[in-house]
Homo-oligomer: A and B are copies of this chain.
């Protein structure tokens, strides 16, 4: 028997047949990401059902020097969770490690295993009379472990923060197979370095997150949603400032959509615009835990002021739950509608909020000057300064011609972002697709620090190699 067969046999003995998948037909959904963009190969998929099982197989992989690719819902937009094409890597799927270990409604924390989906955790929180606020497009498939490992953001981050802001404790299987149990349910704990913040956002390159303690919030008993049309990028900022000043603590979402991005959604069919056609739109949601909070009148009052000040052209406040869902669908259908509209180059960028209007204006002007006919369909999270600057294939341009422009279009956008003090990766991480950008756009001292940390925690370089950081050969 070969060394590979011996290696696989060791894994099989620890995990059993249900926990060690080698049948090529069953590997398919693991080796390609959910958008079908990143394809890889894997020797096998390991599916531990307990942390101790994972620790045992990690020790085997470490000894064999075999690389491990941790995978949650496989929804990374940067290819962080799919293996390379060598066939020499092993996938660790967390999809059997999905128990809720504890819910503490006094402490307002949940202790949960990595494989539970975000949507399942949201439901569990509601069942306990609380709110788990993380919310983003892939929440039905994306997992707790993946959301922490990529520091997922989404639409409610403006109020509740991104994944790391909800994170109190962590359990991690380290590259050598040791278990770090840092599952403390503590709101204050200043004892040494903040290890949980190091694993959060590390995209599986330092260890495998197996469980976490996450914060819960009081359940939401009142929601109001408005949809507005606006005349300029500057008005988008002005409305956000007014909202924050007046309703700071209750703004759950403040989302931007450009005229083009709404036009694409409307062409996709089935949805109706509650305001007149304009160049810019915003969706606003206020929420509160008190059922009797006068959110409707407060929202109407802010919008009346904004109309008076000329910051808003038109505004509609949802009159019932159906309208509220309809308004949200205009925002939530963006990704799917753009996919239907043609090739789609995504740029997940952020700037200081004060530079947001300038970002939108300059990207539009510079792209229009360089690439005739290009459709610029940005949308995103105003309060976080985070825009998804999506560029849609022009009608009549071939796929290959469009893809040939990708790097040039990216360079235009990322240069604007950099000149405005922004980030080329706001909430989607580095994965494999932004490795080169990362090296170009960040100072050498920063990359050097990260490489030192990577080498210190994963000296064998077996954790998700080729993601986040390119390491020098050991």
- The smallest C-beta distance from A262 to any residue of chain B, in angstroms, reads 23
A150 in contact (CB, < 8 A): yes
* Among B180, B288, B456, B468, contact of A192 (Cβ-Cβ < 8 Å): B468
- The smallest C-beta distance from A375 to any residue of chain B, in angstroms, reads 25
Q: Are A186 and B422 in contact (CB under 8 A)?
A: yes
Q: Using a CB–CB distance below 8 Å, which chain A residues touch chain B?
A: 104, 106-109, 150-151, 153, 157, 162, 164-165, 174, 178-182, 184-195, 197-198, 200-202, 206, 217-218, 237, 241, 244-246, 248-250, 288-290, 350-355, 381, 383-386, 421-430, 434, 438, 441-443, 445-450, 452-457, 468-469
- Each complex incorporates copies of this chain amounting to 2
- Considering the chains assembled together, what is the distance between the CA atoms of A386 and B424 in angstroms? 38
Given known pairs A445-B174, A449-B174, A457-B452, the reply for A383 and B187 (CB within 8 Å) is yes
Q: Are B421 and A184 in contact (CB under 8 A)?
A: yes
Given known pairs A194-B200, A352-B104, A354-B106, the reply for A189 and B426 (CB within 8 Å) is yes
- Considering the chains assembled together, what is the distance between the CA atoms of A432 and B181 in angstroms? 24
- The smallest C-beta distance from A171 to any residue of chain B, in angstroms, reads 11
Given known pairs A194-B198, A353-B108, A445-B180, the reply for A187 and B457 (CB within 8 Å) is no
Tell which of A193, A430, A441 has the most Cβ of chain B within 10 Å.
A193
Q: Are B182 and A446 in contact (CB under 8 A)?
A: yes
- The smallest C-beta distance from A303 to any residue of chain B, in angstroms, reads 16
- The smallest C-beta distance from A108 to any residue of chain B, in angstroms, reads 7
Closest 4 CB pairs of A and B: A197-B197, A456-B456, A106-B354, A249-B249
**Which residues of B have CB within 8 Å of A174?**
445, 449
**Which residues of B have CB within 8 Å of A244?**
108, 218
Q: Are A162 and B188 in contact (CB under 8 A)?
A: yes
Given known pairs A186-B385, A186-B423, A353-B106, the reply for A430 and B192 (CB within 8 Å) is yes
18 A-B pairs besides A188-B384, A192-B446, A245-B289 with CB distance below 8 A are A104-B354, A108-B244, A153-B190, A174-B449, A178-B448, A181-B445, A184-B421, A187-B384, A188-B427, A189-B350, A189-B426, A190-B201, A190-B423, A192-B447, A197-B198, A218-B248, A246-B290, A249-B288
Q: A429 — nearest CB in chain B belongs to which residue? A: B190
Tell which of A248, A381, A469 has the most Cβ of chain B within 10 Å.
A248
Q: A238 — nearest CB in chain B belongs to which residue? A: B106
Q: Are B188 and A192 in contact (CB under 8 A)?
A: no
**Which residues of B have CB within 8 Å of A424?**
191
The 27 sampled A-B contact pairs (Cβ below 8 Å) are A104-B352, A108-B244, A108-B353, A109-B352, A151-B190, A164-B194, A165-B165, A180-B443, A185-B352, A186-B385, A187-B385, A188-B381, A188-B385, A189-B423, A189-B426, A190-B201, A190-B426, A190-B428, A190-B430, A191-B434, A192-B446, A192-B469, A194-B201, A449-B457, A452-B456, A453-B457, A456-B456
- Considering the chains assembled together, what is the distance between the CA atoms of A352 and B445 in angstroms? 38
**Which residues of B have CB within 8 Å of A250?**
249
Tell which of A157, A178, A453 has the most Cβ of chain B within 10 Å.
A453
Q: Are A188 and B443 in contact (CB under 8 A)?
A: no
**Which residues of B have CB within 8 Å of A468?**
192
- The smallest C-beta distance from A195 to any residue of chain B, in angstroms, reads 6
**Which residues of B have CB within 8 Å of A434?**
191
Tell which of A188, A422, A450 has the most Cβ of chain B within 10 Å.
A188
Q: Are A198 and B193 in contact (CB under 8 A)?
A: yes
- Considering the chains assembled together, what is the distance between the CA atoms of A187 and B174 in angstroms? 29
Q: Are B384 and A157 in contact (CB under 8 A)?
A: no
- The smallest C-beta distance from A250 to any residue of chain B, in angstroms, reads 7
**Which residues of B have CB within 8 Å of A187?**
157, 350, 353, 383-386
- Considering the chains assembled together, what is the distance between the CA atoms of A57 and B179 in angstroms? 40
Given known pairs A422-B186, A456-B452, A457-B449, the reply for A106 and B241 (CB within 8 Å) is yes
